[in-house]
Amino acid sequence: MKLVGFFLGEEEYAADILKIREIKLMQEITKVPKAPPFVEGVINLRGDIVPIINLCRKLNLPEHPPTEESKIIVVELEDQLVGIIVDEVSEVIEMDEANVSPPPQVIGGIEREYIKGVGKLGERLLILLDLDKILTAEEKSQVAGTVS
Amino acid sequence: MDIDLSEYLDEYFAELNDQLDELQQLLLECEELGHCPSDKLNNIFRIAHTIKGSAATMGFVEISEIAHAFEDLLHRVRDGALEVDDDIFKLFLEAYDLIKHLATAKQEGSQEPMETAPLVEKLRNPTGKETTRPARGRGKKRRKPRSETDSEDSVKRRLSQIAEEDGGKKEEGLRAGLSSSRLRRERWYRISMKFPSEMEMRSVRAYLVLTHLQQLGTIHECRPAMEEIENDEFGDTLELIFSTTASREEVENVLEFGEAESVRIVPCKKGTRLESDLARRLEQESGEQMLRRILSGEGAEQSAAAAPGREEAGDDESRSSMEEKRRDGKEERAAGDDTGAGRNIPRDKRLIEVLDEEEYNIVVESLNQDLNVFEVDITFRDTSKRSVNRALTIVNYLADMSRIILSIPTKKELERDRFDGTLRILIATEKEVEQLRELTVAEEISYSSFTGLTIEGLELTALESGRQAGPDKKRTGGTAGHEQRRRRSLFDERRSAIPTVRVPVERLDNLMNLVGELVIKKTQLNQLYTQFTSDGDVEELVSGLEEVMQGLDRITSDLQAGIMKVRMVQIGQVFYRFTRLVRDLSKSLGKEVEFIIDGADTELDKTVIDQIGDPLMHLIRNSLDHGIEPPEVRRKLGKPEKGFLLLRAQHAGDHIIVETADDGAGIDVEKIRRKIVEKGLLDRASAAKLPPQEVMEYIFTPGFSTSDEVSTLSGRGVGMDVVKETIERLQGDIQIKSEPHVGTTVQIKLPLTLAIIQGLLVEVCGEIFTIPLTTVKETIKLDESAIHTINNQKVIRSRDEVIPLLYLYEYFELPYSGNRKFFVVFVGVDDNKVGLVVDKLIGRREIVIKSLNKRFASVRGFAGGTVLGDGTVSLILDIPVLVQQSKENYLASRKLPISQPAVPSPPPPPAPPQPPQLGNDSSGS
């Protein structure tokens, strides 16, 4: 299984490469007033308007101001593109499923349902995120208040 | 034999729905007329037929069965065996309904078997008198002779019966197919079909043709192979060798089923094989291309094989074009069988027009000797060696039985491979034209190599007039006394339909995106231009830029217009849907209504078309239900008993006006006033003061209905508010005019397109927002002293109007920027105005509307986004929503007991105005 590794703060995470459409440099983001707090805004991706999610805020992790290493990972979700902000993209990782162990109850405050497992790569420990779940779960109720 | 049809389902249903729409329209028209005129009946027949065939193909047995029975019934009507009365019309519509119902169910993926037998039985035996299945009209003698449509129909009938073989009708179908063919001798044909490359479902069509051919005879060879076609490995050409005992006409009719662009069917010898790959490759080249290639020495191997005579041509010659060679050829012209050598005769001229004196004399002489003079004109499929040999054979053949007066190219030229695919020969012979044709087309030489053959006889008089018109070679073609000579290919007259393209909306959207980007580029250039001009130097650069800009400007507008046209759809497809609704509804209401549709060919953007149906349906229902009175009431009122309902579309500048008008009871303003009070929307006094037009506006309030009794159709208070909302979402406008006892007219004004609009860019707290320009009434600099506050609602007085203000930074909860200078953009929807308070006006731009992600970025108050010249995104304000919001707040504020004097309060303290006090707690929901 192929993964893309990235950092949120000091912790290294990974997501299924098949979910990821492209990785973009940080760019100016247009705010959307009254959108849910974790929605950073929207960007123009070759003529499409794509919402940008602040993943740290979504996962209740401590936030860091964007750096030069910050990237936007564009994910395809239910036929629509969504960008997520990460602090740094590390590399594409080939991982044997056997090296993935089920998630412990709580990892650094992230809810268990968002985590597919913990992958071991030599000395490194990667938290495998389930982007689909993160971006779909309970958003309906959260966003419902603002969706027309 | 399995081919996965599922991927064609969308296509199939789209077509089916179109056919059903057309069918319904036709049925209703006939009903209106009280009988079925033959043209309409034929059309109905054709549609029923197609539905039957395609349903069978797709495996929808039920639909096919109904359509089949329907068709049988139509057949009997057409043969005069059955009178069309109300019951029959009802049956027609029942059949339509069931097919429609089945289609919808199938489209939604229902697998459940459906009950069709009762209706099928009814269709087969409409009067209930017959006990046996009615004889089918096919074998009977028709009342009046029918032209091709009929024979076509009968073949199609047979075809679809073949397609229905799963339903156990194979035998019957085949028998029908064979009994009508008198020819039992097996004939071989070489068939080649070319499908339009843009045609959808090519491989399925090809496959169908093949399966149907297999029912008629034997396919000996097929290219591409059937297995390949099954796997969708199909370009656009199908070639095969086929033998059958059926008549040629039958074969042609089967081939027609493929709806190919061109079909060639040529008799051939038993045991013929398709050409080798090489020959096929050569065939695909045009004659000229191949000559060029051969002459220039490219692909030596192939050309050596194809044209062994090439060596004769010198190196110099080999690079010259065919035309040059021909001119050169003049010098080597010799007498005898080489007469006519090197002549270059335009195709639109007859040989007889270009004869020289000597040849002309031969013609006259021959005619005087009672010989026939013929002009034989054969067009070959290609210029391959094979065709050259055919041409030579023909020339030799003709030389044996006649005197060749002129031959182009000559025999000698042919022997040297100078051949451009046509052979034109003028001969004098004792034989008659039939004999000649027979001999020429005799299986020996008819082969596959030529696609067109004309043999024209000459008579002295024609010859004379031809000569008189100008006896020398300078004469221009098309002179009097000559029919324009038309090339007839053996099989080219095909039924032509208006070509239509079904464009997937997705593709259109892509194009639209492209255009959008172009527009952005244009804006960027505009900005550059501004920068340069302000610097003042680099004049040259500026003028160059100017030029580029102008060009780009033109291209983008052209492109925009062009794309827009692709998206345009006639509103008729929505309008005609209502004919049935009006018919059924008026019947059930016991009202008589004349329904008139006008301007059905008016075109509107697809997006608008898709959404306009529901609002229109509400309006039509309202007119029928509440507007038009029952006949007895109308009689008492002195109106014609038959009510009048108009549905019309027309252009008005860059807008379209769609209106419904009836001559019914009209809207009772007083009744609405009472309702307003009843519902507690206004107190009695203020309701009484409202001008009639404003009273009318209340019709659009949710839950508002003036109907005393709630019918099953309308009058439940839902409807008009939905209508208004939909229209406003489409950037449109709706107006009602009504007079008691005269009627009601509802006018809907719609923009031609929604995709590209003019926008006003404004800045609020550093964010740039876009306001659709069509909604902007006026912009002013905010004069603090003009602001008043009523119950916390800030309003501004402008030209004797009190207009509520909406501070956008408050509304959107943006951090206050410390700005003290504001502008007001007055925006309006209908007569409701609101002043949007912004920090800065930036300017007007052409913008492309993009939708926002529904899950994360769809926020009430924004209609979408657009990309600005610098590539960033600006959100587009949803003006109807904002106006509605303000209006509600404003009305709420007016309704509150007035605690402060309603007279203008002292000007509020200068900015910053207090954050949200607008009482818009409901804004978030």
Residue pLDDT, tens place only, B62-75 = 888 888 888 888 88
- Residue B333 pLDDT exceeds 70: no
Confidence of residue B468 (pLDDT cuts 50, 70, 90): very low
Give B766's contacts in chain A (Cβ within 8 Å). Answer: none
**What is the DSSP code (8-state) at residue B329?**
H
Mean pLDDT score, A104-128: 80
pLDDT at residue number A112? 76
Nearest Cα of chain A lies from the Cα of B761 at a distance, in angstroms, of 15
Q: In this structure, what token pair is assigned to residue A52?
A: 């940008």
How much is the mean pLDDT over chain B? 70
The answer to whether the CB atoms of A30 and B812 lie below 8 A apart is no
The proportion of chain B whose per-residue pLDDT surpasses 70, expressed as a percent, equals 66
User: What pLDDT is attached to residue A43?
Assistant: 92
The model's confidence at residue A6, banded by pLDDT at 50, 70 and 90, is: very high
- Under DSSP, the state recorded for A110 is B
- pLDDT 10s digits, B870-891: 778 999 998 888 888 887 777 7
Burial class (CB within 10 angstroms; exposed 0-12, middle 13-18, buried 19+) of B389:
middle
Q: Which residue has the tokens 């046209």?
A: B565
Pick from B813, B856, B859: CB nearest A82: B856
Confidence of residue B922 (pLDDT cuts 50, 70, 90): very low
Longest dimension (CA), chain A: 49
Confidence of residue B646 (pLDDT cuts 50, 70, 90): very high
Residue of A nearest to B512 (CA): A47
Residues in chain B: 925
B248-256 helix and B202-216 helix, angle to the nearest 10 degrees: 160
Q: What average pLDDT does range B161-175 have in this prediction?
A: 40
**pLDDT score of B673 more than 60:** yes
B290 or A112: whose pLDDT is higher? A112
**Using an 8 Å Cβ cutoff, are B891 and A112 in contact?**
no
pLDDT tens digits for A54-82?
Answer: 988 888 888 888 888 889 999 988 778 89
**Inter-chain touch B852–A51, beta carbons under 8 Å:** yes
Greater confidence (B83 vs B442) lies with B83
Among B675, B668, B647, smallest CA distance to B659 is for: B647
Q: What is the pLDDT of residue B346?
A: 63
A82 touches chain B (CB under 8 A): yes
Mean pLDDT of A101-121: 78
Q: What is the mean pLDDT of residues B241-246?
A: 83
| B857 interfacial to chain A (CB closer than 8 Å) | yes
Cβ pair B381, B448 in contact under 8 A: yes
Helix B61-78 vs helix B148-163: angle between axes, to the nearest 10 degrees? 150
Which pLDDT score is estimated for B555? 67
Task: Give the closest of A28, A47, A53 to B516, CB-based.
Answer: A47
Q: Quick check: B865 and A51 CB within 8 A?
A: no
Per-residue pLDDT reduced to its tens digit, A20-29: 888 888 888 9
Q: Let me know: does B863 contact B849? Beta carbons within 8 Å.
A: yes
- pTM equals 0.42
State the average pLDDT over residues B287-292: 44
B767 to A33: CB separation less than 8 angstroms, yes or no: yes
pLDDT reading at B438 higher than 90: no
CA distance B163 to B64: 10
Give me the pLDDT at residue A109, please.
66
Tell me: pLDDT of B408 over 70.
Answer: yes
Confidence of residue B896 (pLDDT cuts 50, 70, 90): low
Paired tokens of A142 = 């959260």
- Contact (CB<8Å) B872/A44: yes
Better-predicted residue by pLDDT, B475 or B544: B544
B16, B37 contact by CB (below 8 A): no
pLDDT at residue A97 tops 80: yes
Round to whole Å and give the CA distance between B45 and B157.
Answer: 11
Contact B652, B723 (CB under 8 A): no
pLDDT confidence tier of residue A85, bands split at 50, 70 and 90:
very high
What phi, psi does B901 have (nearest 5°)?
A: -55, 135
Answer whether A33 touches B (CB < 8 Å): yes
* H-state helical runs in B590-734: 606-622, 631-636, 669-678, 684-689, 692-697, 720-729
CA atoms within 13 A on the CB side of B528: 15
pLDDT of residue B147: 41
Tell me the chain A residues in contact with residue B878 when contact means C-beta distances shorter than 8 Å.
148
Judge whether B841 is closer than 8 Å to chain A, CB to CB.
Answer: no
d(CA A32, CA A79): 21
The pLDDT of residue B899 is above 80: no
pLDDT tens digits, residue range B812-837? 888 877 777 899 999 987 678 899 99
Least confident range of A16-25, B16-25, B488-497: B488-497
- Alpha carbon distance A102, A115 (integer Å): 9
Q: List the 494-533 stretch of B: residues with Cβ below 8 A of A.
A: 513-514, 516-517
Radius of gyration of chain A from Cα atoms? 15
A43 Cβ under 8 Å from any chain B Cβ: yes
Per-residue pLDDT of B32-57, as tens digits, reads 777 778 788 888 888 888 888 778 77
Residue of B499 and A122 predicted with greater confidence: A122
Residue B445 scores a pLDDT above 60: no
How far is B326 from B295, CA to CA, in rounded Å?
Answer: 14
Which of B764, B851, B853 would best serve as a mutation to test chain A binding (most A beta carbons within 10 A)? B853
* pLDDT band, very low/low/confident/very high, at B748 (cuts 50, 70, 90): very high
Quote the pLDDT of residue B349.
Answer: 64
Rounded Cα–Cα distance for residues B718 and B715 (Å): 7
- The SS3 assignment for B366 reads helix
Long-range contacts of B504-507 (CB under 8 A, 24+ apart): B505/B606
Per CB-CB distance under 8 Å, the chain B contacts of A51 are 852-853, 855-857
Interface contact flag, B861 A34, Cβ < 8 Å: yes
> What confidence category does residue B467 fall into, taking pLDDT thresholds of 50, 70 and 90?
very low
B201 versus B135: which is more confidently predicted? B201
Q: What pLDDT is recorded for position B3?
A: 52
Q: Poorest-confidence range of A38-52, B424-438, B706-720? A: B706-720
**Model confidence at B771, in pLDDT bands (50, 70, 90)?**
very high
B261 band by pLDDT with thresholds 50, 70 and 90:
confident
pLDDT at B129: 54
CA distance to partner chain A, nearest, from residue B913 (Å): 19
Q: Is the pLDDT of residue B144 over 60?
A: no
Closest residue of chain B to A137, computed from CA coordinates = B855
pLDDT value, residue B28: 83
Distance CA B410, CA B340 (A): 6
State the average pLDDT over residues B505-522.
72
B275 pLDDT tier (thresholds 50, 70, 90) = low
Tokens representing residue B719 in the block = 């409807």
Chain B segment 794-823 residues within 8 A of A by beta carbon are 812-814
Q: Per residue in B99-127, pLDDT tens?
A: 888 888 877 777 666 777 788 888 877 77
Give pLDDT, residue A74.
92
Tell which wins on pLDDT, B40 or B360.
Answer: B40
Question: Is the Cβ of A51 closer than 8 Å to some Cβ of chain B?
Answer: yes
**CB contact set of B591 (below 8 Å; sequence gap of 6+):** B624, B628, B629, B630, B631, B643
Contacts of B813 in chain A (CB under 8 A): 33-34
In this structure, what token pair is assigned to residue B686?
């203020």
Count the alpha carbons within 13 Å of B482 in the hemisphere toward its beta carbon.
23
Maximum average pLDDT range among A103-107, B80-84, B426-430, B872-876: B872-876
Lowest mean pLDDT among B1-5, B515-519, B726-730, B887-891: B1-5
**CA-based nearest residue in chain B for residue A41:** B857
Q: Report percent pLDDT > 90 for chain B.
A: 5
Average pLDDT over residues B18-41: 82
User: What residue in B sits closest to A27 (Cα-Cα)?
Assistant: B872
